Structure 1
Amino acid sequence: MDLRIFTEPQQGASYDTLLAVAKATEDLGFDAFFRSDHYLRMGAGDGLPGPTDAWVTLAGLARETSRIRLGTLMTAATFRLPGVLAIQVAQVDQMSGGRVELGLGSGWFEEEHRAYGIPFPKEKFSRLEEQLAIVTGLWATEPGKSFSYEGEFYQLVDSPALPKPAQAKVPVVIGGHGATRTPRLAARYADEFNIPFASIETSERQFGRVRAAAEEIGRDAGELVYSNALVACVGRDDAEVARRAAAIGREVSELKENGLAGTPAEVTDKLGRYAETGSTRCYLQILDLTDLDHLELIAAQIQPQLS
């Protein structure tokens, strides 16, 4: 199972903090550094020093790392027009030498839209579907040809469909808990399906829905990567687990039930049970971005057991 580091900078992190985590991610042998795409802190606290933009951040990290994959869980379709998003992601992919992945979701946090004057439309899922068609269509258009699209929400006329990403195909990640429309979208557009903060049983059920949706349209369900995103709280002993849980304002018992909490042996065992559902990748949500020893522990005592 691949382990990726997943951060939530809207809770309070500067670019320099994210850079330190990304460099540790690379140095410690993790597969990728991903971040959320949010502009407002969730829950208590002041969120200082304030939000950082996901794709501005990834552009900087593209030039300051050399190996790890870089991406979003999930870019909000409400934040960017699809043509602009296709340009941004293609450019960052070029800047990274072909290491970018695009997680794209409908957007859901209405309060942050109000806080920064971003429209929050009712038809978010339908807009997401059109964005996926446009972004992937622009990238797939052969050089020298143009791309047009006539949708309910977006229209493109004779776009030169430039620039192109460095990769022949930027991996697209789609995720969520929806029982019908989400699996259908994943079957059509995704290279990877991710389910966030779900139990082993829920993950298995949702992966099954995605596989069935793929087979229904004649796609090999085995082409997709199936992954989880789970909060991580690992300690060498119970006292260290409790200290890390307290640092992020969570209870150990809740984290053990809903995330990956405990000693390295306990967490490795739980990851193995997720792997039995078909999951081959886990995004470890790291909430205390100053605790790089946490990453070192996971890299030293869990990652080798999953190789």
Structure 2
Amino acid sequence: MDLRIFTEPQQGATYDTLLTVAKATEDLGFDAFFRSDHYLRMGAADGLPGPTDAWITLAGLARETKRIRLGTLMTAGTFRLPGVLAIQVAQVDQMSGGRVELGLGAGWFEEEHKAYGIPFPKEKIGRLEEQLAIVTGLWATETGKTFDFHGKFYDLTDSPALPKPAQAKVPVLIGGHGATRTPRLAGQYADEFNMPFASIEDTERQFGRVRAAAEAAGRAADALTYSNALVACVGKDDAEVARRAAVIGREVEELKANGLAGSPAEVVEKIGRYAEAGAQRIYLQILDLDDLDHLELISSQVQAQLS
């Protein structure tokens, strides 16, 4: 079971804070550092000192880390034109030496679009489908040839389809709870399907839909990696779990029901149940980015039991 660190910087984080967490992620043996792509805080967090851009952040981390994978859960399709996004991701992949992964979603948080003057189209899934076709098509175009795409939302003519990523294939992640269109897009385009903040039962059901969609698209169901994203709140004892829950404004029992919370043994047991449902990778949502002891505990007492 791969464990990856997943951060939510819109809740309040500087680049330096993210760099510190990313370096700890690398030093402690985790597989990857991922971040959300949002420009506005959610809930009670003050969001100070303000948002950081996902791909600018990852470009910096690409030069300041050596081993860990770097990516987004999920880049909002509403934030970037697909041709520009393909250039950005390819460049960051080159800067990292081939360690980038692209999680791409439709975008959903209307308030952040209003706050920063970003258009929020009514039809987002159709746009996402074209974005996936364009980004993957640009990267797959042979050097020296051009790429054309004429869709309902985007039109590209005689694109040189440059630059190319360092990797022969940048992994593309698609995720979500949708019962029909999401599995279909994942079955066609995804290298990894991510089920965010879902129960074991819902996870198993959605993984089954994606596996069926992959086979319907002429792919092997096992060609995809299947993953979950879950909030983490781990402590050596009940008092430490309660303290960490309080810092992030959550209740222990709610975290145990909906995330990975409790003692290392409790968390390992629950991860095992997600594995039985088909999960091969877990993104640990870390909400207190100043608590590096939390990462150390997960590394030494959870990850060590899963390797």
TM range (shorter): over 0.9
In the alignment, the residues of structure 2 paired with residue 10 and residue 274 of structure 1 have an alpha-carbon distance, to the nearest angstrom, of 28
| 5+ residue gaps, structure 1 | none
- 1:262 maps to what in 2? 262
- 1:289 maps to what in 2? 289
Q: Which amino acid aligns with 2:108?
A: W
- 2:118 maps to what in 1? 118
Q: Which amino acid aligns with 1:110?
A: E
Question: How far has the Cα of 1:217 moved from its partner?
Answer: 1.9
1:12 lines up with 2:49 in the alignment: no
- 2:50 maps to what in 1? 50
- 1:247 maps to what in 2? 247
In the alignment, the residues of structure 1 paired with residue 79 and residue 201 of structure 2 have an alpha-carbon distance, to the nearest angstrom, of 33
Q: Which amino acid aligns with 2:30?
A: F
Question: How far has the Cα of 1:46 moved from its partner?
Answer: 2.3
Q: Which amino acid aligns with 1:108?
A: W
- 2:140 maps to what in 1? 140
CA distances 1:251-301 after superposition (whole Å, capped 9, x unpaired): 000000000000000000000000001111000000000000000000000
Percent of paired sites with the same residue: 85
SS of the equivalent of 2:71 reads: strand
- 1:41 maps to what in 2? 41
Q: Which amino acid aligns with 1:31?
A: D
In the alignment, the residues of structure 2 paired with residue 128 and residue 213 of structure 1 have an alpha-carbon distance, to the nearest angstrom, of 17
In the alignment, the residues of structure 2 paired with residue 175 and residue 209 of structure 1 have an alpha-carbon distance, to the nearest angstrom, of 12
Relative to structure 2, which stretch is displaced further, 41-50 or 27-36?
A: 41-50
CA distances 1:189-213 after superposition (whole Å, capped 9, x unpaired): 0000000000000000000000011
- 1:232 maps to what in 2? 232
In the alignment, the residues of structure 2 paired with residue 247 and residue 79 of structure 1 have an alpha-carbon distance, to the nearest angstrom, of 31
Question: How far has the Cα of 1:220 moved from its partner?
Answer: 0.2
In the alignment, the residues of structure 2 paired with residue 190 and residue 217 of structure 1 have an alpha-carbon distance, to the nearest angstrom, of 11
Count of residues paired in the alignment:
307
SS of the equivalent of 1:130 reads: helix
In the alignment, the residues of structure 2 paired with residue 300 and residue 44 of structure 1 have an alpha-carbon distance, to the nearest angstrom, of 31
Aligned 1:47-126 pairs, distance under 5 A: 47-126=47-126
SS of the equivalent of 1:302 reads: helix
SS of the equivalent of 1:226 reads: strand
In the alignment, the residues of structure 2 paired with residue 139 and residue 7 of structure 1 have an alpha-carbon distance, to the nearest angstrom, of 27
In the alignment, the residues of structure 1 paired with residue 165 and residue 256 of structure 2 have an alpha-carbon distance, to the nearest angstrom, of 40
CA distances 1:154-185 after superposition (whole Å, capped 9, x unpaired): 00000000000000000000000000000000
SS of the equivalent of 1:288 reads: coil
| 5+ residue gaps, structure 2 | none
In the alignment, the residues of structure 1 paired with residue 244 and residue 32 of structure 2 have an alpha-carbon distance, to the nearest angstrom, of 22
SS of the equivalent of 2:101 reads: strand
In the alignment, the residues of structure 2 paired with residue 293 and residue 59 of structure 1 have an alpha-carbon distance, to the nearest angstrom, of 26
CA distances 1:108-145 after superposition (whole Å, capped 9, x unpaired): 00000000000000011100000000000000000000
- TM-score, normalized by length of structure 1? 1.00
* Moved beyond 2 Å, runs of 4+: none
Question: How far has the Cα of 1:218 moved from its partner?
Answer: 1.7
CA distances 1:16-74 after superposition (whole Å, capped 9, x unpaired): 00000000000000000000000000012321000000000000000000000000000
Q: Which amino acid aligns with 2:45?
A: G
- 2:301 maps to what in 1? 301
SS of the equivalent of 1:233 reads: strand
Q: Which amino acid aligns with 2:284?
A: L
SS of the equivalent of 2:122 reads: coil
In the alignment, the residues of structure 1 paired with residue 42 and residue 278 of structure 2 have an alpha-carbon distance, to the nearest angstrom, of 31
In the alignment, the residues of structure 2 paired with residue 137 and residue 173 of structure 1 have an alpha-carbon distance, to the nearest angstrom, of 16
Question: How far has the Cα of 1:215 moved from its partner?
Answer: 1.2
